[in-house]
Amino acid sequence: MTSLTYPQLPESCLVVLIGASGAGKSTLASTWPASQVLSLDALRGAVSDDCGCQEATGDAVDVLHLERRMARRKFTVVDATNVTRSAREPLVAAAKRHGMPVIAVMVATPASVCVERQGPRPANRTVPADTVRAQHKAMVHSHPTLLAEGFNEVLFADSLYQLLPYLKRLSEKRTADLGLDGGEGLGDLLLVRRVFGEEILPLWRWKPGSDVAGGDRVAEIRLGQQYLTLALRTNVDGEGDYGFDVLLPCPHDDECPGYAWAPADSITCLFRALNGDLDTSEDIVCTVHGGVDDVDQEADDHALQALRETVGSVR
């Protein structure tokens, strides 16, 4: 039986991605729900804190838990190079033990492209060009033998109808976030997620009744004893745009009784704010001292007044 969501794949099967490093296997794998994908890179990271640590591959395979998913007849995608028969054999055997069909998906990106894609990767994820070419050659040579190895079907990635189900899943998530599915959705956290990312949502708390932002809505991000205070600005620059400010120490007076704010438009801004890297930002505006330009002008006015008094005393 063929799934309506994945037109060319059985509803319960093991999908083994086969391709050289840089072929795009992980990109393809990401079009399926994360719970269905067993990534060798991710598992290397789980056992060694380094997704590119090749020495941890054996340990990563040990925690693959493929056997348990096959026993439950769960649709599963294995995201790994898998260009050698020895790498594929235990995967096929695990599926066969539980009567699960095994589908080989060849990600046949040209070798030159695979090599080119190594350039932007971090050092621990970069595979030497000679190795990539050898992987690509092994993938090509493996194609005629895959059915004999026990695969029920061999497909090429380009033949999969993955864009439609991927967009469907993203659409459903977006609809749920907006509350258009009848649920509550993210509501007033929608903008928070868009600016700072969904990982910050569990730490976010609105602070009703707070007056530190001149009437604008105030929130707090807290984890243990560390926290940041933010204000939601609904008329940025007087142009009606939305944005967030983060509360910082006044850069002009350590004993200032007012509140100093600086724009925060990314998670990096929050990190820099808590780390003290924004304490001298030129964008800080204090409710007492104003911005940097205001303080500079005040200093100039004092200097001019002192000069006048000096000239007057000489006369």
Please give the domain boundaries of the chain with CATH numbers for all domains.
14-171 (3.40.50.300), 188-297 (no CATH)
pLDDT at 46: 67
Q: Supply φ then ψ for residue 130, to 5 degrees.
A: -60, -40
The average pLDDT across 81-107 equals 92
Average pLDDT score over the chain = 85
Q: Which of 160, 182, 274, 195 minimizes the C-alpha distance to 228? A: 274
Q: Does the predicted model carry a pTM greater than 0.85?
A: no
Query: What 3-state class would DSSP assign to 122?
Result: coil
Higher model confidence: residue 234 or residue 42?
Answer: 234
The average pLDDT across 249-277 equals 94
Positive or negative, the Cα torsion across 82, 88, 92, 94? Answer: negative
Higher model confidence: residue 3 or residue 225?
Answer: 225
The CA distance from 257 to 171, in Å, is: 48
Higher model confidence: residue 152 or residue 160?
Answer: 152
The C-alpha R_g of the chain, in whole angstroms, comes to 29
pLDDT at 248: 96
pLDDT at 54: 58
Residue 47 reports pLDDT greater than 80 = no
pLDDT at 44: 73
Kindly report which listed range (27-41, 215-229, 232-246, 266-280) carries the lowest average pLDDT score. 232-246
The average pLDDT across 81-87 equals 89
Q: Supply φ then ψ for residue 155, to 5 degrees.
A: -125, 160
Q: Contact, 49 vs 139, CB < 8 A? A: no
Higher model confidence: residue 114 or residue 292?
Answer: 114
- Tokens at 52, concatenated: 């590119």
pLDDT digits (tens, 9 = 90+) for 67-76: 889 999 999 9
* Confidence tier at 291 by pLDDT (50, 70, 90): confident
- Tokens at 278, concatenated: 């924004």
pLDDT digits (tens, 9 = 90+) for 205-255: 999 999 999 999 999 999 999 999 999 998 776 666 889 999 999 998 989
Return the residue matching tokens 């105030």. Answer: 218
The average pLDDT across 6-32 equals 89
Query: What 3-state class would DSSP assign to 78?
Result: strand
* Confidence tier at 4 by pLDDT (50, 70, 90): very low
Helix count and strand count (H, E) for the chain: 12, 11
pLDDT digits (tens, 9 = 90+) for 154-206: 999 988 888 888 898 999 999 999 889 888 889 999 999 999 999 999 999 99
The CA distance from 162 to 7, in Å, is: 8
The CA distance from 124 to 284, in Å, is: 39
pLDDT at 301: 47
* Confidence tier at 311 by pLDDT (50, 70, 90): very low
Residue 39 reports pLDDT greater than 90 = no
Element spanning 246, H or E: strand 241-248
- How many CB atoms within 10 Å of residue 135? 23
